[in-house]
């Protein structure tokens, strides 16, 4: 029998890894940083379901020559200049640190965080957990509502990295939590607490979710249904009507039809109809980012006031608040059953 190679890596004590995965962020707001980020994001077949040859031309010849400038300006308006990073990266790091603290009674559990696009990469997250002895990894795509363009592609990327590993860890995935009782409770409390601090009362509160092309829904994506259920459960929990708590979709791109009603058009029409005070909450985002802090807090607020509205507020995402950590840690603990003991 042949002797084992002398340089065979030592098998480390078994640990369990948890990898929090969010959408992504550019490394900086300059043209080339934005171009790299947008190219990776918009090259994803899960995000853009189109003829690849035609889309390659549109992306590389048209979009990537102009959009990095406008996207860079949007990021500059919300950039964390102290840490030289986007708010999404700042919050994601804090979420990881606080979840690690919450799980401190389980020394064999290692928590890390990664981005689907940009840095820290999914590859780096998996490699880091593997190097620390994690032979079981729980992937946690931080999207309450499932969509192929978010949850599925986060898993795709992780599985692509696993394909290249000789010694693969065992994998579990946290399921969507759009109807989780603690999540709904935390959202409801955040809405009511924020409104209680205002000097005015919103006539309408909008739940704004990131949009998807209508054809994705027609093809069988459950995202639309998940969003509607989250908002319905919120209405029931708070005791509001459909007129008081409305649902819309933001961030559409291109000329094709997306999920409706559209956030910007709804806000504009509310202002034209004489509504003076509105609040917007974004339940589909686990952390505040450019889509909430710039697109909603700044752009949507300007639209509302330009068409006759008076008071506008963005209700922050759950971010790294105690309620958020309780929700995220609770979901993790539930999925780690059998891997770790209570």
Residue 5 lies in a domain: no
- Please choose, from the candidates 104, 94, 115, the residue with its C-alpha nearest in 3D space to the C-alpha of residue 20: 115
Crossing angle of the two packed helices 31-42 and 64-76, in degrees rounded to 10: 110
Residue 289 lies in a domain: yes
pLDDT of residue 1: 47
Contacts of 297 (CB under 8 A, 6+ apart): 314
Three-state DSSP at 195 gives helix
pLDDT of residue 3: 52
146 and 189 part of one domain: no
220 and 253 part of one domain: yes
pLDDT of residue 13: 73
Residues spanned by the domain of 234: 181-315
- Please choose, from the candidates 338, 335, 333, 334, the residue with its C-alpha nearest in 3D space to the C-alpha of residue 105: 333
The rounded distance, in Å, linking the Cα atoms of 337 and 212 is 34
Residue 136 lies in a domain: yes
Are residues 99 and 111 in contact, defined by beta-carbon separation less than 8 angstroms? yes
Residue 192 lies in a domain: yes
pLDDT of residue 12: 65
Residue 236 lies in a domain: yes
**Residue 142 corresponds to which tokens in the numbers above?**
């931080």
Name the DSSP class of 300.
Answer: I
Handedness of CA 160, 31, 252, 262 (dihedral sign): positive
- Please choose, from the candidates 331, 270, 323, 337, the residue with its C-alpha nearest in 3D space to the C-alpha of residue 140: 331
105 and 229 part of one domain: no
Name the DSSP class of 174.
Answer: P
Tally the domains of the chain: 2
Contacts of 145 (CB under 8 A, 6+ apart): 176, 178, 209, 223, 226, 227, 230, 284
pLDDT of residue 254: 84
What CATH number does the domain containing 188 carry?
Answer: 3.40.50.1400
Residue-level pLDDT, tens digit, the chain, 342 residues:
455 555 555 666 789 999 999 999 999 999 999 999 999 999 999 999 999 999 999 999 999 999 999 999 999 999 999 999 999 999 999 999 999 999 999 999 999 999 999 999 999 999 999 999 999 999 999 999 999 999 999 999 999 999 999 989 999 999 999 999 999 999 999 999 999 999 999 999 999 999 999 999 999 999 999 999 999 999 999 999 999 999 999 999 888 999 999 999 999 999 999 999 999 999 999 999 999 999 999 999 999 999 999 999 999 999 999 999 999 999 999 999 999 987
305 and 216 part of one domain: yes
**Residue 311 corresponds to which tokens in the numbers above?**
């008071």
């Amino acid at each position: 029998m042949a002797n084992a190679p002398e340089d065979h890596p030592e098998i480390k004590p078994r640990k369990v890894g948890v990898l929090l995965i969010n959408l992504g962020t550019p490394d900086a707001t300059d043209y080339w940083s934005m171009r790299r980020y947008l190219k990776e994001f918009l090259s994803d077949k899960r995000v853009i379901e189109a003829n690849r040859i035609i889309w390659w031309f549109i992306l590389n010849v048209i979009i990537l020559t102009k959009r990095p400038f406008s996207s860079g300006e949007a990021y500059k308006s919300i950039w964390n200049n102290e840490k030289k990073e986007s708010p999404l990266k700042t919050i994601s790091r804090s979420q990881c640190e606080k979840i690690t603290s919450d799980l401190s009674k389980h020394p064999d559990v290692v928590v890390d965080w990664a981005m689907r696009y940009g840095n820290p990469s999914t590859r780096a997250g998996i490699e880091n957990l593997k190097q620390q002895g994690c032979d079981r990894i729980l992937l946690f795509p931080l999207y309450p509502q499932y969509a192929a363009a978010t949850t599925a592609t986060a898993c795709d990327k992780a599985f692509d990295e696993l394909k290249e590993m000789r010694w693969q860890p065992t994998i579990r995935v946290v399921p969507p939590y759009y109807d989780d009782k603690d999540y709904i409770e935390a959202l409801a409390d955040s809405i009511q607490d924020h409104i209680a601090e205002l000097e005015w009362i919103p006539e309408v509160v909008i739940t704004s979710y990131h949009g998807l092309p209508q054809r994705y829904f027609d093809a069988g994506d459950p995202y639309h249904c998940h969003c509607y259920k989250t908002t319905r459960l919120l209405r029931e929990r708070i005791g509001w009507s459909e007129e008081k708590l409305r649902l819309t979709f933001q961030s559409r791109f291109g000329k094709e039809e997306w999920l409706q009603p559209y956030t910007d058009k709804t806000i504009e029409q509310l202002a034209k109809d004489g509504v003076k005070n509105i609040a917007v909450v974004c339940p589909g985002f686990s952390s505040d980012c450019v889509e909430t802090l710039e697109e909603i807090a700044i752009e949507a607020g300007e639209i509302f006031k330009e068409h006759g509205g008076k008071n506008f507020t963005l209700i922050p995402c759950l971010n790294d608040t105690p309620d958020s950590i309780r929700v995220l840690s609770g979901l993790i603990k539930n999925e780690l059953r059998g891997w770790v003991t209570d």
